[in-house]
Amino acid sequence: DAGVIQSPRHEVTEMGQEVTLRCKPISGHDYLFWYRQTMMRGLELLIYFNNNVPIDDSGMPEDRFSAKMPNASFSTLKIQPSEPRDSAVYFCASSTRGRGGSPLHFGNGTRLTVT
Amino acid sequence: SQQGEEDPQALSIQEGENATMNCSYKTSINNLQWYRQNSGRGLVHLILIRSNEREKHSGRLRVTLDTSKKSSSLLITASRAADTASYFCATDLNTGGFKTIFGAGTRLFVKA
């Protein structure tokens, strides 16, 4: 089990540039979540997918943020244009949900710095 | 917005002592989970307790859930320096979906 794989681990970019974060969930997991972590706001749920379909994107901060899941093994989170306040650690997590719930498996995150 | 609030925000103890962290939440839940995060890493799931359960054990971990008070506690017994990490509670909201919302976390430091 390779776990959830995120790339890149670190991203430094200038304000106004496009940023794309990538995630490969655990094979067989049908739920995928994108979270953002900052000191000020903690862990925020941005969006989650079920069977590649976005279910709830109410946490996406602005239209500058978009997320896609073209297939069961790949998802992207794109920020265009990026701003310094987008600097954070972005986590992807996957899960297979049954009755009563089941745990989320997290990747090691992408640390984004926008200068 | 955050569903869960942990207490205390930070905790410093000696190795061998017990550590207790509390979590309060606001709305009806399906279950409550505890996660651990080491610096620079992703969160790791520790234990899940369902809304119809009151207590659960896993190794040195003991979790309680009081749905009438909308609160949970995580007890780590006989702590070790390697337990130093941030601990988060998370709730699956009972809204028909599977939204998992995290609290602000408790930073635990165990001194050797």
pLDDT above 60 for B1? no
CB atoms within 10 A of CB A13: 17
pLDDT band at B13 (very low <50, low <70, confident <90, very high): very high
**Average pLDDT over chain B, rounded to whole?**
91
Task: Give the B-side interface with A, CB within 8 Å.
Answer: 2, 30-31, 33, 35, 40-45, 48, 50, 88, 90, 92, 97-105
Report in angstroms the alpha-carbon separations of A77 from A36, A48, B73.
Answer: 11, 11, 34
Dihedral sign from CA coordinates of B2, B7, B12, B17: negative
For residues B14-23, average pLDDT: 96
Q: Do A93 and B42 touch (CB under 8 A)?
A: yes
Per-residue pLDDT of chain A (115 residues), as tens digits, is 689 999 999 999 999 999 999 999 999 999 999 999 999 899 999 999 999 999 999 999 889 999 999 999 999 999 999 999 999 999 999 998 765 578 999 999 999 999 9
For residues B92-110, average pLDDT: 84
For residues B29-55, average pLDDT: 94
Three-class SS of chain A:
CCCCEEECCEEEECCCCCEEEEEECCCCCCEEEEEEEECCCEEEEEEEEECCEEEECCCCCCCCEEEEEEECCEEEEEECCCCHHHCEEEEEEEECCCCCCCCCEECCCEEEEEC
